[in-house]
Structure 1
């Protein structure tokens, strides 16, 4: 496998997989790993879509939890190419695929109301300055609502899902009310919420939320997840998520 420029091959230790990353283009965060572990997925079969897929980390992670077909959607050509090569390197072409497209246009291609699960790690921030865009366009698009908004991602997720299908998102707690409001607007009833904390005593800095299309109103607030111990080390739960048997 040929790496381009400053790309490197990193390892997903718990899943025994490898992924292409680039410090100047994109590297996945813990948020993506937590989302891939949080979402409910069918074990034996099903159709799963990952929006804002980046370098394909969530499809790769999900491939160890389900035998269903997984499609990643990414608008940035460079990231799409990195994901394609990572899928090939891991020999997962029969299960995983990528589409280079705008999520606002992809529904007719993938098919409306046909899929069991949609995941999305969307851009978190509302705006980006022209200075930041000029410094690194890849980072700006990944982090800021330039090519899509939160509403765009939730609308597309609902359109893709069959009735009873599940949509899961990771975001910042400050957008909780936006998430719930928009999910209900597009028929995704929130069912599970989990707050992620840097450590015990700090405010939550990440939220995981899963909804069911046309589900009944009944949301569960799951136990908190702490990332670090007081000494700065990862907690046992995070170690298990990241390293599996190697923890």
Structure 2
């Protein structure tokens, strides 16, 4: 174990998938958003090609690997995070199914191929670049959370460039950016087809949205039932426990 961990890194469990992931409190740890996106996105079961953009330390590709036998390409700009993801992939013996690319999401199709992928997932930076220095002193976290190196529109454009006609792109974002993401998707030939709002608990405002579009699809948006993270007892709901742990309470 020691040879795969560096500095303050630790090896955490992905319980529902029976996998392990390298994380660091000073660099990056995945959030519930990654779990939700990986479970929400359409993936081909037996074969196909998937790309995960803004892959961070590789959580979404690892989650997806439990749902599909397709090849997964993970793209992450930050070298430290990409290296952590690469070591997690190796630790889990998934080198033949997940390929890590340490590169910019902007223009990535020119390097890994235009219009050849069945599915693209993306957990992009949520917040404007302004104020990033005050909100996050750590550069790794600031880049992951703020639009310093990648805007929402650029992420959507890259996803569209990668997808085959009829391919599906799934994003996780904040409800306040709903109109922005729908506008960007339609401007890039991605027709929104499914959307789901995630709420901390009943009676609270939604704080996360999941949205999926089809490249050159016909208009027909389905709004899925709400997902509540916590119940009245402030414990995870059965649905979220199932997503995280593979079992209900």
Does TM, scored on the shorter chain, surpass 0.5? Answer: yes
Pairs aligned (count): 247
1:89 equivalent in structure 2: 91
2:236 equivalent in structure 1: 234
Q: Helix, strand or coil: the match of 1:174?
A: helix
Kept in 2, the 8 Å contact 1:14–1:246? The answer is: no
Alignment match of 1:146 (pick from 143, 148, 157): 148
Q: Distance in 2 between matches of 1:207 and 1:42?
A: 22
| Superposed structure 1 runs of 4+ greater than 6 Å apart | none
Instruction: List aligned pairs for 1:61-76, cutoff 5 A.
Output: 61-76=63-78
1:191 equivalent in structure 2: 193
Per-residue CA deviations over 1:115-144 (Å, capped at 9, x if unaligned) read: 000000000001243643882101100000
1:99 equivalent in structure 2: 101
Q: Helix, strand or coil: the match of 1:199?
A: coil
Kept in 1, the 8 Å contact 2:20–2:92? The answer is: yes
TM-score under structure 1 normalisation? 0.98
Structure 2 unmatched runs, 5+? none
Kept in 1, the 8 Å contact 2:174–2:209? The answer is: yes
C-alpha RMSD of matched pairs (Å): 1.2
1:246, CA displacement in angstroms? 7.2
TM-score under structure 2 normalisation? 0.97
Between stretches 78-87 and 123-132, larger displacement belongs to 123-132
Asked if 1:213 corresponds to 2:206, the answer is: no
Structure 1 unmatched runs, 5+? none
1:234, CA displacement in angstroms? 0.2
Per-residue CA deviations over 1:123-172 (Å, capped at 9, x if unaligned) read: 00012436438821011000000010000000000000000000000000
Between stretches 126-135 and 62-71, larger displacement belongs to 126-135
Q: Distance in 1 between matches of 2:106 and 2:157?
A: 9
